[in-house]
Amino acid sequence: MNNIELKAKQIEEEFSIFDDWMDRYNILIDKARNLEPLDPKYKTPQYLINDCQSQLWLFCENKDGRLFCKADGDAIITKGMAAIVLELVNGEPLQDIINYNFEVFDKIGLHSHLSPTRSNGLRSLIKQVKLYAEAYLLKNISNDKQR
């Protein structure tokens, strides 16, 4: 079990404490409020997640083969979903992120409580995080070959 899977297990346990979805939404809201701020220079169309019901910006960088992301949004639930994604991937190896299926959102029942547009936004966010990881991994491989 890699570190992302361990983090996912902790998130599942955190959400399993509550049966009521209002309580679970409060977890999302708390995570959104604790999300590290995104520098305003990244709140541009280039960093905007497509297919999201609200505005959500994502910036990721590669440090020594590990991905570090920041996000911000104008809707608290969307921001909370982004906070979970970032909690899973921040500081993790690029290949582990690429391989992870993000099934934690199904396991905590979030997908079934989202509108279709919010579900699309979550899928787009996950896709973008994986694209960042793939691009940085390819860049690392290319740089290694040039040495």
15 close to 80: Cβ distance less than 8 angstroms: no
Q: Which of 113, 122, 115, 116 is nearest to 21 (CA)?
A: 113
Estimate the crossing angle of helix 3-16 against helix 21-33, to 10 degrees. Answer: 130
Question: Is 52 a catalytic site residue?
Answer: yes
User: What are the residue ranges spanned by the domains of the chain?
Assistant: 3-146
pTM of the model: 0.94
Residue of 52, 82, 89, 114 with catalytic role:
52
Read off the pLDDT of residues 92-128 as tens digits, 9 standing for 90 and up.
999 999 999 999 999 999 878 888 888 999 999 999 9
Which H or E element spans position 102? none
Q: What is the CATH number of domain 3-146?
A: 3.90.1010.10
Read off the pLDDT of residues 2-42 as tens digits, 9 standing for 90 and up.
999 999 999 999 999 999 989 999 999 999 999 999 999 99
Task: Give the integer Cα–Cα distance in Å for 126 and 86.
Answer: 10
